[in-house]
């Protein structure tokens, strides 16, 4: 765990550009594109958040939704298209990138990669190994099953997030000592809706509980300055944001900005 922490989690506070930071003026309408991530890099971000899907011909692309419509205006799903077909579809005039393109274009960047579909676990493991990027990634998923599958391929060589089941255990104060769930970091929203009712996940007590387990807390997606300030005061270890210029300003003011 220490070795993983010194690789991906290599700084006091992790500022993460969610999908490249789509609320940055230059990135509006260009989420999850190489251009968006390059703009975040130029702003000083070294940790990027993205999502991966498999194309019809088995290529891993950086894209959030299963369907193309919201960001491209085109019908159909990622898995219904070959990568060659996707190259003719743009996001704000920018191509949909392969995950391998992001590794190659930004060799100094760390990537938080959310596995968005079943079957992408093994290709992602192969890709990480091919690019010798084990120290550069943290792998997440809303599916505990996908996280378990990815760990079976990679073992403890790559940092992963605590899955939904482990998070529920910790929120419910079940996880402790030998019951601590696998994964190095909890990446969670401040609130989650259960049966139509908001349930608070992140609190000073939750953060303290996680830290006593020897793990980190990253909160998504935080875009208001007041929320950023409050969560940092509570002791979170990182924030995942769309408004990357606002978070940079907050961190510079606190002496936490580290590029």
Q: Give the pair of three-digit tokens for residue 237.
A: 């270890």
Q: Among residues 118, 119, 124, which one has the least CA distance to residue 138?
A: 124
Q: Nearest Cα to 158, choosing from 136, 187, 131?
A: 136
131: annotated active-site residue: no
**Active site residue: 47, 53, 64, 218, which one?**
64
Other C-beta atoms lying within 10 Å of the C-beta of residue 23: 17
Alpha carbon distance 107, 119 (integer Å): 26
DSSP string computed for 187-237: EEESEEEETTEEEE---HHHHHHHHHTT-EEEEE----HHHHHHHHHHT-S
> Is the Cα torsion angle 58, 61, 64, 65 positive or negative in sign?
negative
Let me know if 53 is a catalytic residue.
no
Please state, in angstroms and rounded to a whole number, the distance separating the CA atoms of residues 232 and 236: 5
Which of 18, 47, 81, 218 is the catalytic position? 18
Written as one string, the DSSP assignment of 114-177 is EE-STT-HHHHHHHHHHTT-GGGEEEE-S-HHHHHHHHHHHTTSSEEB--HHHHHHHHTT---G
CB pairs under 8 A, 24+ apart, for 189-198? 189/219, 189/220, 189/221, 190/219, 190/222, 190/227, 190/231
Residues with catalytic roles: 18, 64
């Amino acid at each position: 765990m220490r070795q993983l922490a010194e690789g991906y989690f290599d700084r006091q506070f992790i500022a993460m550009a969610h999908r490249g930071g789509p609320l940055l003026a230059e990135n509006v309408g260009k989420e999850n594109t190489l251009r968006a991530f390059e703009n975040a890099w130029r702003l000083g971000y070294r940790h990027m958040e993205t999502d991966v899907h498999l194309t019809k011909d088995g290529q891993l692309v950086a894209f959030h939704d299963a369907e193309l419509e919201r960001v491209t205006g085109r019908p159909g799903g990622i898995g219904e298209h070959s990568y060659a077909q996707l190259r003719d579809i743009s996001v704000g005039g920018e191509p949909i990138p392969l995950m391998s393109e992001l590794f190659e274009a930004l060799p100094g960047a760390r990537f938080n990669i959310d596995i968005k579909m079943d079957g992408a676990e093994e290709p992602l493991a192969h890709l990480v190994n091919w690019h010798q990027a084990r120290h550069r990634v943290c792998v997440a998923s809303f599916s505990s099953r996908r996280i378990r599958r990815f760990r079976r391929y990679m073992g403890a060589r790559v940092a992963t997030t605590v899955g939904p089941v482990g998070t529920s255990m910790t929120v419910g104060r079940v996880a402790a000592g030998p019951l601590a769930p696998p994964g190095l970091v909890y990446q969670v929203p401040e609130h989650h809706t259960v049966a139509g009712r908001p349930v608070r996940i992140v609190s000073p007590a939750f953060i303290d509980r996680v830290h006593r387990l020897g793990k980190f807390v990253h909160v998504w997606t935080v875009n208001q300055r007041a929320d950023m300030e409050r969560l940092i005061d509570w002791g979170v270890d990182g924030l995942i944001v769309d408004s990357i210029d606002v978070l940079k300003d907050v961190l510079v003011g606190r002496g936490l900005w580290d590029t």
